[in-house]
Structure 1
């Protein structure tokens, strides 16, 4: 058999194979065809996958996430950083709660609470005279009482007061009368007394101005103290004539 005859025979065999392939070709089994039917391809046992190295996914959602990562690549994975740590990157996004319009906090106007100094400015009537004593540094004389009668008086400068006639005084000279019943000096700690009865801060010294058989008139100077309003009988201005 000549060489030409062999070439013709091979050409005929190739044409026969192509014709057989064309006869067995089904577009429903062609993965690259638009008419590909996956359910029909699964029913055929001899059908072969054209690419064997392709990755298999468990479901469509996993495949969809993989496609999204290919189309929109995200930055490198962020390290797990504890809240408040200074080692974390600056671009770490913190979770933020989203409120609906009716869930937003209601803005309220806070009331300005007054104190003793703001209330002193609004005093009227007799208390306005005390406000003048505070502003002009006028000296006053306050008569005090005890449970039954007038106890004495205090001369000094008022620094603050309130509507209950509670007074904060400074540079006070106190004069009062007391009965002579004490066998020992008043408000003086003894060495033999217990620790509970001893006073850590000693009171100012007391001078006796006048003495009778039953009573004595005492005087002392105090730098500052607070007098309760229930002890106040009356208040007189001493520096009003000078000013």
Structure 2
């Protein structure tokens, strides 16, 4: 289990299998289940130009875009989850690495 951060605080949790790491704590992980929380659309501040979706191009044809599952938690907050086969996480964004038995 890896807890990640962004500029404002805790971003989310990654449940994964660790493949490799280095002295800066950059992680190469596989079989990743990513869980994070976000505010509902009406509560978030979205700039006018960023609300439109990007059309699918050649990158989507090469690698499938992960499906994000959103479930309401309450109070205008949604819990989002997605499964990613492989991921590399920069050490700068890691808060905590914890061993969890599956």
TMscore range, shorter length: 0.7 to 0.9
Is the partner of 2:24 in helix, strand or coil? coil
Q: 1:236 to 1:218 in 2, by over 3 A?
A: same
| Alpha-carbon distance, 1:189 to partner | 3.9
> Which of 61, 70, 83 lines up with 1:208 in the alignment?
70
1:172 to 5, 28, 32: 32
Larger relative strand fraction: 2
Cα drift, residue 151 of structure 1:
1.1
Q: Is the 8 A contact 1:142 1:235 kept in 2?
A: yes
Answer yes or no: is 1:225 the counterpart of 2:87: yes
Equivalent residues of 1:187, 1:203 under 8 A apart: no
Q: TM-score, normalised by structure 2?
A: 0.75
Using a 3 Å threshold, how does the CA distance of structure 1 residues 187 and 211 change in structure 2: closer, same or farther? farther
Equivalent in the alignment of 1:146: 6
Shift of 1:165: 0.6
Residue correspondences, number: 91
- Structure 2 CA distance for partners of 1:187 and 1:206, relative to 1, 3 Å: farther
RMSD: 2.5
Query: Judging changes above 3 Å, is the alpha-carbon distance between structure 1 residues 229 and 207 closer, same or farther for their aligned structure 2 residues?
Result: same
Relative contact order (C-alpha < 8 Å, sep 6+): which is higher?
Answer: 2
Q: Write out aligned runs for 1:122-201 (5 A).
A: 141-181=1-41, 189-190=54-55, 198-199=56-57, 200-201=59-60
| Structure 2: gaps of 5 or more residues | none
Structure (1 or 2) with the greater helix fraction: 1
Given that 1:208 and 1:216 are in contact with CA atoms closer than 8 Å, whether structure 2 keeps it comes out as yes
Q: Distance in 1 between matches of 2:25 and 2:52?
A: 28
Which is greater in Rg? 1
Structure-2 change in CA distance of 1:211 and 1:189 (3 Å): farther
Q: Structure 1 CA distance, aligned partners of 2:74 and 2:85?
A: 29
1:205 alignment partner, SS class: coil
- For residue 213 of structure 1, report the CA deviation from its aligned partner: 4.4
TM superposition outliers: structure 1 runs of 4+ over 4 Å: none
